[in-house]
Structure 1
């Protein structure tokens, strides 16, 4: 070890010793450590009913998830960060909080701050001039919803917070933010969300947020909003982020009001997921819903889970060219002309239109208890069940699109040769089409940049040497949970993967494979991970000797009883790194015929069998044992006997003795 290395090691040991011996409070279970030059006292989740005494040099105190009933009175007055959330603090005292004038970050949420109050006290935080972040979202379920809807912030509730930039709070029925905050406040981030506290806002009107001139990020998540007035966001000139998701009484009909206002802001991200009735009729996303967005510099648009069935023709022309991401997940989209209009989104890099929820495609009817629910029938059940694409079409992808997800949409591609393609002017690298009905993987032109493809769970039973002809840059291919077993054992399978010279990961699990053609992988010289698990493979007949970069192969949950000499030679090829083999849950046999394989598996130096000692093998009489006791260097092996069975048994092939059992194999 060099002198410099020795000195550095000594410094590290000194620092470690000081850290381990560090003390910061009267509570021995509190952890004390430095972070960014501040000494932190971490006393969270200790079931404390009273705050411990802290050393005066502490600047950050964590007391969340305890049983405190009041704000501690004797903490160091110089603290800058305090977290006393998730306790049982009721009726917090203004005079106590005023002691900590240097606070910059305060979390007093998840207590029961509103117990006994209908209004938040006026000027409660006025002495905290340096406070930058305030988290006071409360979830006191002792207060009934009917009462919470009547509560409000009193005039001047947040006066004095001249440095406040970020606040998370309850949205109350009597939302009088204009009176509660000073006109020259510095708030840039406002979060009103059921995830950060209970929220009941009913409606958003022109003057609701008028006082927040500096506001940049506004979250109104699941606040039971029933109406948003046109002009409600128009005065928020600095707004870059708006989330109005999970207010299902709004429906898509609120979008014109919101998008009209956004053209007067600096909006970059607009999220409006789950606005439509959860079990309502599928709708058409119309130009009138979003037309004003073309006057913005919007980068991210999210309209997921809104039961959108069709996108109106030419709608993409009204979206801003600045868009880089669109999310329309969990919508029952069906085939429409909008599929061919991607060239208008010239800067789009990612499009997510997959379905990740468990809902069926059947329409359950509109929730007529909601006054704002659109009762107009626009798309029928029959139209949304399957989406069949017409033949001989070339799809125009946005030229900069790198990631496309259309998973679980029940898209049906029929068996038509050379029917589909993408115009060559595209940048697509990631394609997720799992969970559809692609029975036949044909030749798709224009996808030469692809690096990642997921075609799993498509009921696919046919692939040919043309299927991946245009995907020479592919690195990851998932074909799991299909029906390719019959196709891959034919001689024609020899060339199926010929064009995938750079492929590193191939997943063929759950494909009903019982036999693979011997040369099916011969062209895959760069393959690193091969998954053949959960099939019906009885023997390894395929050649892997050319796969010198192979790092792992998963053969688990098949029907392999042993590997023959040729298969062992395939796996014994000298590789760049140790090969990891998974063979669990196979019916391995403990017989004289499998002895060579068992010995090879146990003694192998350039291979690692994952969980090998937990593998089991079966004797001819049906009894099973774990392979852990296998010892290829045992002296009995030299006498043509092998230790592999630990329970008492006796037949022609093995006997017990000295707490072990032995198979007798002659001329081994």
Structure 2
């Protein structure tokens, strides 16, 4: 026993020393030095763990200074315990504090020592109850965020020692608040923004906002409110009211007297059945220039939009005379309702309407006074039952830029419909019943525009000279085009992108492609039934950069198939049935950078004609039957600089017996190259080297003639 005792004592000493060292390390890591960032003079960002300890500011930032001192502290896994090591003086310098912990019940004792605090973030801490009025010490607090907790009772929570207090923004979203006592916010007279969204609030009869005389933003969305009961009528400066996702069935002037003040009025996803004229009218008493009033009524049960009342119409015209308000506009969202009837003067009370969304309704006829839409830029009529368009409706929309008519019943577009519109950027007519268009009387924005006619039954399209001005992109995919010569775009000299994918085209020859020669840079012919492409088919498309021919029935090519495509960068031949491809048929593609032959079940890909290619050429070879012997040879030549052609795949495979540099391949029939093939490779490499030498000699001769001989001639001239 005596012999063992010293060892036992030594063991206890060692354990004690380890504990001391461990505690020293832990205490020194509350606010690690590497997490203390000096952003600028007397401005710091500090990240601590558990407690705020071991931080000292420079003397010039602790004593009287002419520069503002800002200390932003984040505490992860925060605890509330204090001990003798807590630097209370430092706590008093903190201006922004974020605490992350799990506190079901808390007194937030730390706030007693943070009198300079301006911004407090307590988001997502699981807080159910806050005791002892901890915010009362924070006389400089401007922003308080208590979102994503479990608060149920906020009565008497927001009390301050000094009045009026400085709190301007209070966030209580995503809690479990059910009741709002009348005096819940009684002391918050400086509040500008209040967020109570995503709670369980259903009753506002105690008028909890009566004292918030400076409030501009109120978020009550995603609660269970059925009636406003005049609870916000006292908020004379309120500009933004969010009521989305409640159970409101009726809004009238008694329930919302300040509705005309609102710059944002969001009552979407409620149970409204009527649109009353007062919901749409606005006055501009306290709006600023360039304000946009947003009226959002989507996702309700509205069936009709009635005419504006005479009072609202006269009010609109009187406001038009006020020159101070020339830069104020309105956006109206009526989408996702059951609207089938829109009266002719429905939008007459709206001043300077620039956006109207009527998508996903049951509109059959859209015939309204076009003068009320003279300023409109965005009009969405998609997902309705519209079969006819009226010139008198669109005639005054000279500012219209984005028009969405998709998912309707259009089978014809009158020549005159859009004769007065000159600023289109996007016109979407997808998913209609249009089979042919012999003219497209559309004029696009000076910067260019897009016309999408995909998913119709279109088999013929003609854009004659003078129509479709400034059309840059035309999308015709998923139609019934079998003869591309019936799509005449030859006069359309500004077209850059054409999508003819997913049609019924079977053959291509020069007479079938009536396309602009000088401007087209992108042509998509994928997902057709193309079996044959005649020589010189693309010869006039000299500026084409991308040609997509994937998902067709191509098996082979001829000399001259791609003649004229001297600027082509990207050729997509994936998902065809090309078993053998010789690069000699693609020699016209001098600028080719990307070639895709994916998923062709290809057995032979002869790249020998590209040994002198000027640019790096990526060849995607996924899902073919190319041998590992061939793949290894081509990759060696690329890696050794003998060629610029590199086989690759979109997703590299792991190492395996049938992969080379992550590219899957077929097992070799012969594991070694024959002597004859070695000589062929050597000859090819010698040829490449000779070509490079010749190019270098030509370049030197060029510079010699250009500069040296010119200098000689000058000297001779002087003599």
Shared fold by TM > 0.5? yes
SS at match of 1:211: helix
Larger radius of gyration: 2
Cα 1:477–1:344 shift into 2, 3 Å:
same
Map of 1:265-304 to 2, 5 A cutoff? 265-276=351-362, 283-287=363-367, 290-291=368-369, 294=372, 296-304=374-382
Number of residue pairs the alignment of both structures matches? 546
Measured against aligned partners, the alpha-carbon deviations of 1:530-588 in whole angstroms (never above 9, x if no partner) come to 32222222233354445444332222222222322xx343375012xx33332121111
Instruction: Tell me the distance in 1 between the aligned counterparts of 2:651 and 2:374.
Output: 62
SS at match of 2:372: helix
What does residue 48 of structure 1 align with?
102
| Residues 1:109 and 2:173 aligned together | yes
Map of 1:7-26 to 2, 5 A cutoff? 18=37, 22-24=45-47
Cα 1:556–1:337 shift into 2, 3 Å:
closer
| Residues 1:243 and 2:296 aligned together | yes
Query: Is the Cα–Cα contact under 8 Å of residues 151 and 175 in structure 2 kept in the other structure?
Result: yes
Cα 1:164–1:137 shift into 2, 3 Å:
same
What does residue 409 of structure 2 align with?
333
Map of 1:9-408 to 2, 5 A cutoff? 18=37, 22-24=45-47, 27=50, 39=72, 41=74, 48-49=102-103, 56=114, 60=119, 62-70=121-129, 74=134, 77=138, 78-96=140-158, 101-114=165-178, 117=179, 120-122=180-182, 124-138=184-198, 140=200, 151-152=203-204, 154-157=206-209, 159-165=211-217, 167=219, 169-170=221-222, 174-176=226-228, 178-187=230-239, 189-193=240-244, 198-205=245-252, 209-236=256-283, 240-250=293-303, 251-253=338-340, 255-256=342-343, 260-261=346-347, 263-276=349-362, 283-287=363-367, 290-291=368-369, 294=372, 296-305=374-383, 307-317=384-394, 320-329=397-406, 331-338=407-414, 340-355=416-431, 386-389=433-436, 393-400=438-445, 402-408=448-454
Cα 1:440–1:60 shift into 2, 3 Å:
farther
Cα 1:180–1:219 shift into 2, 3 Å:
closer
What does residue 549 of structure 2 align with?
508
Query: Is the Cα–Cα contact under 8 Å of residues 198 and 221 in structure 2 kept in the other structure?
Result: yes
Instruction: Tell me the distance in 2 between the aligned counterparts of 1:95 and 1:509.
Output: 66
Deviation at residue 59 of structure 1 after TM alignment: 5.0
Deviation at residue 200 of structure 1 after TM alignment: 1.9
Instruction: Tell me the distance in 2 between the aligned counterparts of 1:102 and 1:432.
Output: 56
480, 483, 486: which one aligns with 1:437: 480
Measured against aligned partners, the alpha-carbon deviations of 1:263-286 in whole angstroms (never above 9, x if no partner) come to 44343222233233xxxxxx5223
What's the TM-score once normalised by structure 1's chain length?
Answer: 0.69
Deviation at residue 340 of structure 1 after TM alignment: 4.6
Instruction: Tell me the distance in 1 between the aligned counterparts of 2:595 and 2:415.
Output: 39
Structure with the bigger percentage of helix: 2
Deviation at residue 394 of structure 1 after TM alignment: 1.8
| Residues 1:574 and 2:614 aligned together | yes
Map of 1:401-550 to 2, 5 A cutoff? 402-414=448-460, 419-421=462-464, 423-424=466-467, 426-441=469-484, 442-465=487-510, 467-470=513-516, 472-484=518-530, 486-488=531-533, 490-491=534-535, 494=536, 496-541=537-582, 543-550=585-592
Query: Is the Cα–Cα contact under 8 Å of residues 560 and 586 in structure 1 kept in the other structure?
Result: yes
Instruction: Tell me the distance in 1 between the aligned counterparts of 2:186 and 2:143.
Output: 17
What does residue 600 of structure 2 align with?
558
Cα 1:242–1:497 shift into 2, 3 Å:
farther
Measured against aligned partners, the alpha-carbon deviations of 1:456-508 in whole angstroms (never above 9, x if no partner) come to 22233344435253253223332222222x132x33xx2x3233332223322
Aligned CA-pair RMSD: 4.2
Map of 1:608-619 to 2, 5 A cutoff? 608-611=646-649, 614=652
Higher relative contact order (CA closer than 8 Å, sequence separation 6+): 1
Instruction: Tell me the distance in 1 between the aligned counterparts of 2:125 and 2:184.
Output: 24
Instruction: Tell me the distance in 2 between the aligned counterparts of 1:27 and 1:607.
Output: 58
In structure 2, stretches of 5+ residues that fail to align are 1-32, 53-69, 77-97, 304-337, 679-719
What does residue 372 of structure 1 align with?
none
Query: Is the Cα–Cα contact under 8 Å of residues 325 and 350 in structure 1 kept in the other structure?
Result: yes
Instruction: Tell me the distance in 1 between the aligned counterparts of 2:394 and 2:198.
Output: 44
Query: Is the Cα–Cα contact under 8 Å of residues 246 and 270 in structure 2 kept in the other structure?
Result: yes
Instruction: Tell me the distance in 1 between the aligned counterparts of 2:385 and 2:71.
Output: 51
Instruction: Tell me the distance in 1 between the aligned counterparts of 2:159 and 2:658.
Output: 67
Deviation at residue 129 of structure 1 after TM alignment: 4.4
